[in-house]
């Protein structure tokens, strides 16, 4: 029987990002579904503004946390850096084929960091998160006149006798009708991208959770608990072992 060894893998910065991101996504999804169904739920305009304000503030946390992870990919430990989770390089596709073949054969290879298949999933997830952040920040400006573009949107749609900084959401009497319609036309495709990316993101998150659970069962390695403790407990020698294991 192979000896179990404990390896330091996920640093504090990576673990904090993961759980803040998870909680933010849950909160944003919950608020998003209520906003989408506000009419059927009989929510007033004031209620919509409150919900959207909550959604935007959680979105700011979500955006700053994602920015933090991008920066941390330059400074974190070896498993947190770009080269550890971006697919590519001379040996990547060979490693992917080897990993998939071993997994299908029932003798999966163990990795300390992200395995080759997981690296593909992480890149897709990061891309979807980034799209959601960018479109969400634009919509925060066009809907509630929030940062980063709300000031310019307010100047665009304010009626001639209304100070842009005094605009109130859902108060059409304060807007120049033609400018407001132009702004809504500008906003419409961004809304669609944000909405459909939202649905795709939910599917990918569910797939991510399922993949983690399946990998935990098939490979071991305490994958789930490692995101709390930072350490993986693995039998045998991981493929990406740098021989700096700790008992």
Give phi and psi for 109, each to the nearest 5: -75, 145
- Of 106, 118, 110, 101, the C-alpha closest to 210 is 118
Strand partners, 7: 232
Confidence (pLDDT) at 242 = 65
Burial 50-88 (b: 16+ CB within 10 A, else e): ebbbbbbebbbebbebbeebeebbeebbebbeeebbbbe
DSSP character string of 68-95? HHHHHHHHS-TTTSHHHHS--STTHHHH
Domains located in the chain, CATH noted: 4-235 (1.20.950.20)
pLDDT in tens, 69-127: 999 999 999 999 999 989 987 889 999 999 999 988 888 888 999 999 999 999 999 99
Among 105, 24, 27, which residue's Cα sits nearest to residue 68? 24
Evaluated on CA atoms 72, 73, 74, 77, the torsion sign reads positive
H-only helix segments in 110-245: 116-144, 150-157, 177-219, 223-229
Inter-CA distances, 119 with 83, 111, 200, Å: 10, 11, 18
238 φ/ψ sector (left φ>0, alpha ψ -120 to 50, else beta): beta
Counting as low any pLDDT under 70, the low residues of the chain are 1-2, 221, 242-247
Residue 1 has a pLDDT of 46
Query: b/e per residue, 22-45, with b = 16+ CB within 10 A?
Result: eebbebbeebbebbeebeeeebee
Report how far apart, in Å, the C-alpha atoms of 210 and of each of 16, 40, 121, 203 are: 21, 32, 12, 11
The maximal CA–CA distance of the chain, rounded, in angstroms, is: 80
Q: Residue for token digits 């310019």?
A: 152
Q: What was the pLDDT predicted at 59?
A: 97
- pLDDT of res. 2: 58
Can you give the pLDDT at residue 247? 32
Task: Let me know: does 175 contact 166? Beta carbons within 8 Å.
Answer: no
What is this structure's pTM?
Answer: 0.91
CA 199, CA 35: separation in Å to the nearest integer? 14
pLDDT confidence of residue 127: 97
Give the span between the Cα atoms of 16 and 77, in whole angstroms.
14
């Amino acid at each position: 029987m192979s000896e179990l060894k404990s390896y330091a893998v996920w640093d504090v910065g990576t673990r904090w990002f993961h759980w803040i991101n998870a909680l933010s996504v849950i909160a944003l999804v919950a608020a998003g579904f209520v906003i989408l169904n506000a009419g059927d739920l009989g929510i007033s305009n004031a209620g919509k503004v409150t919900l959207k304000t909550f959604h935007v503030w959680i979105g700011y946390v979500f955006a700053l946390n994602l920015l933090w992870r991008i920066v941390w990919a330059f400074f974190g430990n070896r498993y947190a850096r770009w080269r550890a989770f971006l697919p590519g390089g001379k040996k990547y596709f060979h490693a992917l084929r080897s990993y998939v073949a071993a997994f299908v054969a029932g003798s999966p290879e163990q990795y300390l960091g992200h395995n080759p298949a997981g690296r593909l999933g992480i890149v897709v997830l990061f891309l979807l998160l980034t799209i959601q952040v960018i479109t969400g920040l634009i919509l925060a400006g066009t809907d509630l006149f929030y940062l980063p573009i709300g000031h310019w949107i307010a100047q665009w749609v304010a009626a001639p006798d209304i100070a842009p900084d005094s605009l109130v959401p859902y108060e059409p009497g304060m807007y120049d009708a033609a400018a407001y319609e132009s702004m809504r036309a500008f906003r419409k495709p961004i809304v669609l991208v944000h909405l459909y990316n939202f649905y795709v993101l939910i599917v990918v998150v569910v797939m991510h959770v399922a993949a983690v659970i399946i990998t935990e069962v098939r490979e071991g390695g305490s994958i789930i608990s490692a995101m709390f403790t930072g350490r993986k407990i693995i039998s045998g020698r991981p493929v990406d072992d740098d021989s700096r294991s700790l008992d």
